[in-house]
Structure 1
Amino acid sequence: MAFGMLFLAEMGDKTQLAVFTLVTQYNKPLPIFLGASLALVMVTLIGALFGNLVARYVPTAHLKLIAGILFVGIGIFVLLEAVPDVLRQLGRG
């Protein structure tokens, strides 16, 4: 279940695009794959350990609410950051 959820969540995200860019830039897919894989393993380990610690003190419903608010906030931030760029590009087109 964890594999499936992470696989779908990571598909097309910034990390995958960064790996794609690095491979096209340096043409060394194996070292880049190994580095990116190790980074994902470390981030997942930190998330699992920290999540376990936090779950002892904060109810799951509160964690879901906080996570949802953070995702919406980040989404709004990204959208607001992208709007001027899109408007600038439309003006050139």
Structure 2
Amino acid sequence: MDAFLISTGVVALAEIGDKTQLLAFILAAKFRKPIPIILGVLVSTIANHAFAGALGAWITSLVSPDTMRWVLGVSFIGMAIWTLIPDKFDESEARFARFGVFGTTVIAFFLAEMGDKTQVATVALAAQYHAFVPVVAGTTLGMMIANVPAVLLGDRIANKIPVRIVHAIAALIFAIIGVATLLGAGKSVGF
């Protein structure tokens, strides 16, 4: 349950102001069809985060528990720093209009998530908790918590969210997880 709840919370906070949330705003403004956009976000997130979760699970099979503890601890601290750096959105990430609203959303979100902080967080969380399904379900729910309001409310809420504060909270959570991991908190789950 911890893996699910932490994955959900961390990703929901980290996603506020992220380039994929900005992409959700743009797709909502461009197409004005929230249901296919929301479904596209869901499908692309499940695919992307399942890949990331599998990668995290695979990595743990290759590295000793002590080495993994250090890699994960430093990775979470790195995620804390990365979360504080504002994302830049490239309009070309929303250029797949010929595939329809759903197809455009799936392709654009999948590509935008490649190497993004929430994908990297999913890899690290899956490695940390050894819980593929709860982590992928949690990170997917976190993405939906952050992006569904962006699709439904668009510009009405974009300027009202204190992005810096939300990013600071997410960074603090990543830093706490990183320090706790370095101090051996993960030993109860196999480290």
Same fold? TM cut 0.5: yes
How far off its partner does 1:66 sit?
A: 5.3
Aligned residue identity for 2:17: G
Does 2:39 match 1:30?
Answer: no
Is 1:47–2:52 an aligned residue pair?
Answer: yes
**Larger Rg over CA atoms:** 1
Higher helix share: 1
Q: 1:65 is matched with which residue: 71, 74, 88?
A: 74
**Percentage identity across paired residues of the two chains:** 30
Q: What's the TM-score, normalizing by structure 1?
A: 0.65
**Structure 1 counterpart of 2:30, one-letter code:** Q
Where does residue 11 of structure 1 map in the other structure? 16
User: Normalized against structure 2, the TM-score is what?
Assistant: 0.34
CA RMSD of aligned residues (A): 2.4
Q: Which has the higher contact order (CA 8 A, sep 6+)?
A: 2
Q: Which runs of 5+ in 2 are unaligned?
A: 88-191
Counterpart AA for 1:10: E
**Shift in Å, 1:9:** 1.4
